[in-house]
């Protein structure tokens, strides 16, 4: 018997390849994706008991091709479908061409909303079932099925063919792909937003697909930068929560629990990428993450260098979230009051002023400045603004500790 984990890993690796083969051979990529899902389900049931076939990709392609033909024949009442059925046949040849990158671009089509891009990428490229995606995003399976179906209809209505984007659109489409993969990673990494198992699945899938993207674009610095950022961030996951689920801030984490091989791989990627071409925001964020990961202790963090990188990042990719993070670095280098002054420049910015993240940073800097009453107020506002149970517990503890300290004086 073969372990279920080994089967799942192989199926997720092969899923986009089989979809691409069917779509290129027969067209109608949406039907190709549905047929592949059925083949994956059949394999996940049979392979753990019967063993993995000698040519697993050919097995999946044969089963998916039959499912594809059945789907077309089921609509044969429509006259235009009948001719298509006659032209279809199950062939045993398995082309070497891998269309996974083309499929990834298709799933991140600009006509789709961000939630639809996320769901379609995880299903078509990641090989996750609709039920698994629904569980990860905490929505009913029927809701996720409708979202995926609607996304396919939108792509079909846009007249998109199964081909890489035109050269003129490649850069813009790649930027969307990178953003979608980063969002998938963050969905899994956000504390307390989902179960530990589903969160790990999302971060693992984001890393796996980004590895695939990096392999297809070996000279692209931002693809390498995003992969490095994910690895360097995910390396800290074992230390970011206590056994009771309480969050542990970066400065207080047990760094011996960090995953050293992930840090080494991320740093190696950065060393091979930085300076080889234009520097983008993902490379800069990865460089900041590397400085945190390479510090033996929190006190040993190279905050001046981190501040310098945030300053460059703000020039390359300006926005209130970058300024928010730079304010923390300013506070660590020039003092909390300087950080608070910078924070004040984005206090009225749409999309940041009333988020819990703004209040968390403000509370932290106020606490460093010794203004505990104002810090407790900011933490309280953040606690009311977050939907994460883990973050709410952590912030409630901060407020309680400040109140207890105040009573002691």
Residue 156: per-residue pLDDT? 83
Q: What is the C-alpha separation between 384 and 393, in angstroms, rounded?
A: 11
Q: What is the pLDDT of residues 327-360, one digit of tens each?
A: 999 999 999 999 999 999 998 887 676 678 999 9
Residue 156 lies in a domain: no
Residue 354: per-residue pLDDT? 66
Closest CA to 343 of 356, 326, 355: 326
**Mean pLDDT, residues 86-112 taken together:** 69
Q: What is the pLDDT of residues 279-335, one digit of tens each?
A: 999 999 999 999 999 999 999 999 999 999 999 999 999 999 999 999 999 999 999
Residue 102 lies in a domain: no
Six-digit token string for 300:
């040993």
Closest CA to 169 of 85, 108, 252, 224: 108
The confidence band for 238, taking pLDDT boundaries of 50, 70 and 90, is very high
Query: Cβ of 299: how many Cβ atoms within 10 Å?
Result: 8
Q: What is the C-alpha separation between 352 and 350, in angstroms, rounded?
A: 6
Residue 331: per-residue pLDDT? 97
Half-sphere exposure of 276 (CA within 13 A, CB side): 14
Residue 229 lies in a domain: no
Is residue 365 within 8 A of residue 391, CB to CB? The reply is no
Among 29-33, 74-78, 110-114, 130-134, the range scoring the smallest mean pLDDT is: 74-78
pLDDT higher than threshold 60 for residue 89:
no
Half-sphere exposure of 264 (CA within 13 A, CB side): 3
Six-digit token string for 373:
């009453």
pLDDT higher than threshold 70 for residue 49:
yes
pLDDT higher than threshold 90 for residue 124:
no
The confidence band for 90, taking pLDDT boundaries of 50, 70 and 90, is very low
Q: What is the C-alpha separation between 36 and 19, in angstroms, rounded?
A: 6
Residue 72 lies in a domain: yes
Range of the structural domain that residue 27 is part of: 1-95
* Number of separate domains in the chain: 1
The confidence band for 91, taking pLDDT boundaries of 50, 70 and 90, is very low
Is residue 375 within 8 A of residue 363, CB to CB? The reply is yes
Q: What is the pLDDT of residues 362-399, one digit of tens each?
A: 999 999 999 999 999 999 999 998 878 888 999 999 99
Phi, psi of 241, deg, nearest 5 = -135, 145
Max alpha carbon distance in the chain (Å)?
Answer: 86
Residue 60 lies in a domain: yes
Residue 71 lies in a domain: yes
pLDDT higher than threshold 90 for residue 233:
yes
Task: Express as a percent the part of the chain with pLDDT over 70.
Answer: 89
Residue 249 lies in a domain: no
Rounded to the nearest integer, the mean pLDDT of the chain is 85
Q: Which residue has the tokens 């990096």?
A: 214
pTM over 0.85: no
């Amino acid at each position: 018997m073969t372990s279920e984990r080994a089967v799942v890993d192989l199926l997720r690796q092969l899923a986009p390849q089989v979809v691409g083969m069917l779509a290129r051979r027969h067209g109608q990529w949406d039907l190709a994706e549905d047929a592949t899902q059925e083949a994956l389900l059949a394999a996940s049931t049979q392979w753990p008991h019967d063993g993995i076939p000698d040519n697993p990709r050919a097995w999946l392609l044969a089963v998916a091709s039959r499912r594809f033909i059945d789907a077309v024949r089921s609509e044969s009442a429509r006259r235009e479908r009948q001719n298509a059925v006659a032209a279809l046949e199950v062939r045993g040849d398995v082309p070497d061409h891998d269309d996974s990158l083309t499929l990834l671009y298709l799933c991140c089509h600009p006509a789709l909303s961000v939630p639809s891009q996320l769901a379609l990428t995880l299903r078509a490229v990641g090989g996750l079932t609709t039920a698994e995606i629904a569980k990860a995003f905490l929505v009913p399976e029927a809701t996720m099925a409708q979202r995926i179906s609607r996304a396919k209809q939108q792509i079909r209505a846009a007249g998109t063919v199964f081909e890489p984007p035109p050269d003129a659109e490649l850069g813009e489409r790649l930027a969307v792909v990178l953003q979608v993969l980063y969002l998938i990673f963050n969905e899994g990494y956000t504390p307390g937003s989902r179960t530990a198992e589903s969160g790990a699945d999302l971060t693992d899938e984001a890393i796996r697909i980004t590895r695939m993207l990096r392999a297809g674009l070996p000279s692209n610095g931002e693809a390498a930068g995003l992969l490095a950022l994910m690895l360097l961030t995910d390396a800290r996951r074992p230390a970011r929560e206590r056994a009771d689920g309480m969050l542990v801030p970066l400065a207080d984490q047990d760094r011996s629990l960090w995953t050293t091989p992930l840090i080494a791989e991320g740093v190696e990627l950065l060393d091979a990428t930085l300076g080889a071409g234009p520097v983008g925001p993902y490379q800069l964020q990865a460089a900041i993450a590397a400085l945190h990961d390479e510090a033996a202790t929190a006190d040993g963090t190279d905050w001046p260098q981190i501040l310098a990188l945030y300053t460059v990042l703000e020039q390359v990719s300006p926005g209130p979230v970058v300024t928010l993070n730079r304010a923390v670095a300013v506070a660590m280098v020039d003092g909390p009051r300087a950080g608070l002054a910078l924070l004040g420049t984005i206090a009225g910015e749409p999309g940041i002023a009333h988020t819990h993240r703004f209040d968390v940073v403000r509370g932290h800097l106020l606490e460093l400045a010794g203004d505990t009453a104002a810090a407790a107020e900011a933490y309280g506002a953040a606690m009311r603004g977050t939907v994460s149970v883990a973050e709410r517990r952590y912030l409630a503890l901060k407020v309680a500790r400040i109140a207890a300290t105040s009573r002691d004086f």
